[in-house]
Amino acid sequence: MLRIRPALAALTLIVALASPAAAAADPFTGSWTATDVDGSAMRMTIGNGSSGVHQVILIDHVGTICIANGAASELFHGAATGIVEGDVLAATWLRARCGNLSFDFGSGQFFMEYLPDNDQLFGMDVYWDRTGS
């Protein structure tokens, strides 16, 4: 019986690793942090919405666009939706604001590339690290 238990444990592990529940269904979904090129801290949350459309929330603690436009707050808060194709999330801005000042980016887009070797994203000229893992 001692031989069967290790074999059974190995088989259970193989089945668990091969199951869809064990694998990450979407590498973009989750919380991410980065240091902006201006040195400020940024946070991003990506959720997987209906029909494969991703919801993106971005917060930059010192938004250069906020300062340049005389906003009452330096805190940039933006929301976007995006679609994944391969290792790239193409997102379109829905809204963005700094305190009392709203921005209309029209159909402005940004892109996030997933880097599977490091479990990172690259976009907005910086590398994003997953939080909570």
Per-residue pLDDT tens over the stretch 12-27: 333 333 333 333 579 9
Q: How many domains does the chain have?
A: 1
In a domain, 110, yes or no: yes
Query: What's the average model confidence in pLDDT over 102-112?
Result: 90
According to DSSP, the β-strands at 41-48 and 120-123 are: unpaired
For the cut 50, the answer to whether the pLDDT of residue 11 exceeds it is no
Q: What is the pLDDT of residue 24?
A: 53
Residue 42: name the closest of 28, 57, 26 by CA.
57
Q: Which three-class secondary structure string do you get for the chain?
A: CCCHHHHHHHHHHHHHHHCCCCCCCCCCCEEEEEECCCCCEEEEEEEECHHHEEEEEEEECCCHHHHHCCCCCCCEEEEEEEEEECCEEEEEEEEEEECCEEECCCCCEEEEEEECCCCEEEECCEEEEECCC
CATH number for the domain that contains residue 98: 2.40.128.20
Domain range enclosing 64: 25-130
**Each residue's pLDDT tens digit, 48-94:** 977 889 999 999 999 999 999 999 999 999 999 999 999 999 999 99
In a domain, 7, yes or no: no
User: pTM here?
Assistant: 0.78
In a domain, 3, yes or no: no
